[in-house]
Structure 1
Amino acid sequence: MSLYLPELIHPIHHFAHRTIDFSREVAVMAIINRTPDSFYDGGTTFALDAAVRAALQAVEDGAQWLDIGGVPFAPGPELPWQEEADRVVPVIRAIRDQTDAVISADTFQPRVAAAAIEAGADVVNDTTGISHPDLARVVAESGVHLVITHSLARPRTAYPRPTYADVTTEVARFLQDKVELARNLGVEGAKIVIDPGHDLNKNTLHTLEITRRLDEVAALGYPVLAAVSNKDFIGETLDAPKSERLPGSLAAATICLVNGARILRMHNVAESVAAARLFEAAAGWREPAYLKHNMGDANEPAQVVGR
């Protein structure tokens, strides 16, 4: 498998407190869920102080990006926007002055997005593919970034038995159309990120195919976000419960990087940062932390076992 280096329309992205060159860098996005029923952690960061601690620990572990969410993607009753904002905004406000990391609000609600931006968010991460056009207008007026994700269902509704004639082609076409919509609503091209939506309205076979052919999505020319962490396609492929999906998550993330992804949305930050930094070194973008092995006149004792 060769390394795919997409030709990015805007490789360098300027956020309020940080600049990332996606032609030479991988950003690890830490997931901070302020929900009592989150898919992975079951509400362990629902309390405000727990969410703030988790965010700052993620930065300590190497995350360059913090994604703060107040509502799960999974089907369920609609949460009033004020209640969602009450979950997300205090976290953003509490951490904004303590880190230069990129901060995104995971929301599809325009009024939540506006409140999060006012509190200091750099990005709106919309997992519904601009289901509310006013959200793109809020982003455009504020001059922040927008993540556009492929998903077919109305927000928080079920989409049973999704079918595609060619899932990757259809996902890429959807994202291109939504990018054009966002641009027409005033969002700058240099502030757009795309996400193929692993597992979102897709079965495991669909998601595996998107992972294998992610280069076709990256070829659109916008930085690709891969949200693969601990998802059901990993569990079903490996017959692994959520607590045992880290190795599969890192493998999926690495495949996505090789195929052009430049942002990884992950739960296990330290391990994901290590994988991203090794990828950057193998790509020739980063020097190793040190060089010692076979670098002197006499070899150092072997540090590996079993050879």
Structure 2
Amino acid sequence: MTHPAPDRPVAGDWLALRAPADAEAREDTLPLIERLVRHWAQLSPGVGEDDPVVVVDLGAGTGANREWLAAHLPGPQRWILLDHDRDLLEQAVASAREDAADVVPVLAGVEQLGRVLEEHPARRRLVTCSALLDLLSREQVQELARVLARNGVPALFALTVDGEVHLDPPHHLDAPVLGAFEDHQHREELAGTDAVRLADAALREEGMDVEVVPTPWWVNDQPWSQPLLRRFLADRADAAVEHRPDLTAEAHAWLRTRLVDCARHKLRATVGHADVLGLPRVS
């Protein structure tokens, strides 16, 4: 079954704002990568050092996932950058080519993964994505697990939000505004903040070994924190109002107060994310 492209393309400027927070959070991903490399060694002990690892990056965005992950994967790599947004895909390809990376752009949605894997066989392969699973439908998450298991390909799903948001100092409108935002993330059967749990269950049901590690954002007084926080707050207020128009006055008041806290360098945020590693079982 095919699925339409999301009606809200992810903005490139948001991807740029979140990149440094993602990079800090992904230090907790390193043990998963070590486990992945051991899996490859066990699965294909005779693979030469010159054989490239083929990586399919779903929802490649501006290429931040490739930029971070490529430095932590072994040997030569060929990256299949897949995105339904032509402008973002062009940015990702341009960035990769600046790094002299071996890249193949694919303008498509995640439903084309099976075809892409058929077209790019290799003894060491990986399907990865960053901050994508929550934007997929529940059915798409399940189908993704089926395609991975059918092709015997490992997956590393990075930086999926899990719904945990803690703002310090607290505000009495945090709960209703953030709750309305979370409800908005589940509209039209989207996986939203259930995505980590759904991916974990779907991969296990397909017989894969799964490990989940928390990769939260810790947004304090880093040089990049203020613009990220401002955008984070504004996006949540906008989505809360869209989902619950009756909250308009409260959401706007909450945003004004929180932006003042931000400007005064008083606001701290912890935003829950998790990484999911799925490995086919080695017989």
| Structure with the higher fraction of residues in strand conformation | 2
Q: Same fold (TM over 0.5)?
A: no
TM-score by length of 2: 0.34
TM-score by length of 1: 0.32
| Structure with the higher fraction of residues in helix conformation | 2
